[in-house]
Amino acid sequence: MHADILIKNGSCMTMENKEIKNWIAISQSRIIALGTGNDYEDIVHEDTIVLDAKGCTVLPGFIDSHFHVVQTALNSVSLDLSGVMTHAEVGERIREASKSFIGDYIRGIRLEEGQFVEKTFPGRKLLDQYCNDVPVVLNSLEYQVSMLNTCAMLYFKIPFTAEGIETDEKQMPTGIFRKQANAILRSNILKNISDEVRKNAVSGIMETLLKNGITTVNAMEGGTLYSDKDADFVFENSRNFPIDMELFYQTMDIEKIKSMGLKRLGGCLYIDGTLGARTAALSFEYADRPGTMGSLCFNQMEINDFVLNCYKNNLQLALYTIGDRAIEITLNAHENALYQTGITGLRHRLEHAELATDRQIRRAKELGIIFSMQPTYESYWGGRGKMYEQRLGDKYTLSNPFREIIEKGVVICGGSDSDVTEPRPLLGIHSAVNHPVEEHRVDVYEALKMYTCNGAYGIFQEKEKGILKPGCIADVVILDDDILKKAKDKIEEINVCVTIKSGEILYNSLV
């Protein structure tokens, strides 16, 4: 058999037993051979495309195990406010945007309370000063809080009886929406977006994903704070895009999942909230808001019943858990379901699991539960002076204990939670290796596993993806450096220079 593509002179990390080869050959959509030296000559012919890796690392295509495809796409054409420092700056950016405004409303994204010198989110009175004739909707980074001007409040018709509408001393809405009110608002907005808009937006982010070496994403779509139309769009259209999208439908409607022929559900099925919004369910008080410990979205009986039904229907389940109290009731539910059914091997997942305790990690191992985690969170929020320390005080050192999780035998899949953090696996790998708390750091190989073979294992595709092996799908990336020789604190400087998906070169900066 002749090779269509040959990659030579590479440090080809197979991601099996730390084995490294020098070359890899691809025919059509599959890997056909790997080797060392020059023993590839018999399979090269005049039409073979030869890529010289020049000693750089060659890896399986990256798998992003927690990715909001449609929201990332829609946000890519929204107003990014992550760099502003004052309410006035927000206002000026909105005023400027209104001059070239097209569509139903102006949408701003990626806001955090802590970025402002005012240390609060801007409300409707401030927004009205800069734009009072066009609806303005701003979203916090993790979508838990929305900020509206008066025009938007009237336009989107949120019932003022909904939980989570912040009011001032005169009991008038401030324009800041949380909890149920925020969910209603986002649902009202997203359900009116056409699939044509979704298609164009998703097409627009493909180049970025391929440039970052991503060949497969776990698409977390639908449900609370999102839209079921997003999930339905991915289900119906994912094959029209160049990367693979494995749908995690964020619904508790088991019968719907079965009728669609899906074998998994979940993703952001919220058991608790976020640390940023102080809604993640903790077993201790928030350091910057004594008396607050976050909240659970379900009681133990409710989550027990749902998890049990997933076991009985042989559905892989991914549940959103950040705080240790949320992780606890979820593990309790899994233990109950396992006891009642005896069903194993479904590879259930906890998404995020930022504050898992030592005992909870051990329990997860016994239950065969996977942790789907976001190492880049530590680059954004970990370490001294950042959000984790602000919310947790000295307990910030407990967040994302990657090394301990791996040492106890729990599989970690790496994801970006895009676009909460940028979809760049190499930044995630850098973050896991350079965790601000030294005892939580992992070596480069373990970090790479999170985004390759572990990611494949998390979706039952470890025999097809995540490794470089004859017979596997030819999802391959070439880096512009040797990641094993690169200084650990410089890993984020490495770039992808070639991305091959199913045997087709879709990104190539070597030419």
Statement: residue 511 has pLDDT above 80: no
The model's confidence at residue 38, banded by pLDDT at 50, 70 and 90, is confident
> CB neighbours (10 Å) of residue 83?
9
Interval 348-366: pLDDT, tens: 999 999 999 999 999 999 9
* The two three-digit tokens of residue 8, written as one number: 């030579």
What does the pLDDT read at residue 156?
A: 87
Q: What 8-state DSSP symbol labels residue 422?
A: -
pLDDT at site 439: 98
Q: Give the SS3 label for residue 314.
A: coil
pLDDT classification of 225: cutoffs 50, 70, 90 = confident
Per DSSP, 30 falls in state: E
Amino acid found at 271: I
Residue 306: which residues within 8 A CB-CB, separation 6 or more?
A: 252, 298, 333
Mean pLDDT of the chain: 95
Burial class (CB in 10 A: 0-12, 13-18, 19+), 496: buried
With 90 as the cut, is the pLDDT of residue 115 above it?
A: yes
Residue 146 pLDDT > 90: yes
Average pLDDT over residues 188-211: 93
- Mapping DSSP onto H, E and C, the string for 142-207 reads CCCCEEECHHHHHHHCCCCCCCCEEECCCCCEEEEECHHHHHHHHHHHHCCCCHHHHHHHHHHHHH
| DSSP string computed for 239-297 | GGSSSEEEEEE----HHHHHHTT-SEEEEEEESS--TTTT-S--SS-BTTBTT-----S
Look-up: residue for tokens 């760049």? 424
Contact 498, 10 (CB under 8 A): no
pLDDT at position 281 is 98
**Residue 280: alpha-carbon gap to chain centroid:** 17
- Band of pLDDT at residue 1, cut at 50, 70 and 90: confident
Tell me which residue of 268, 248, 287 sits closest to 144, measured CA to CA.
268
What is the pLDDT, as a whole number, of residue 50? 96
d(CA 244, CA 172): 47
pLDDT of residue 367: 98
Asked which of 177-186, 297-306, 442-451 is least confident by mean pLDDT, the reply is 177-186
C-alpha 334/C-alpha 305 separation (Å) is: 10
Domains and CATH numbers, the chain: 1-60+468-511 (2.30.40.10), 79-188 (3.10.310.70), 261-465 (3.20.20.140)
State the pTM of this model.
0.93
**Predicted pLDDT of residue 298:** 97
CA atoms within 13 A on the CB side of 252: 15
Is residue 161 pLDDT above 90, yes or no? no
- Rounded mean pLDDT, 415-428: 96
| Chain segment 255-291, per-residue pLDDT in tens | 999 999 999 999 999 999 999 999 999 999 999 999 9
pLDDT at res. 410: 98
Strands 79-80 and 106-111: parallel
Per-residue model confidence as pLDDT tens digits over 93-110: 999 988 877 778 899 999
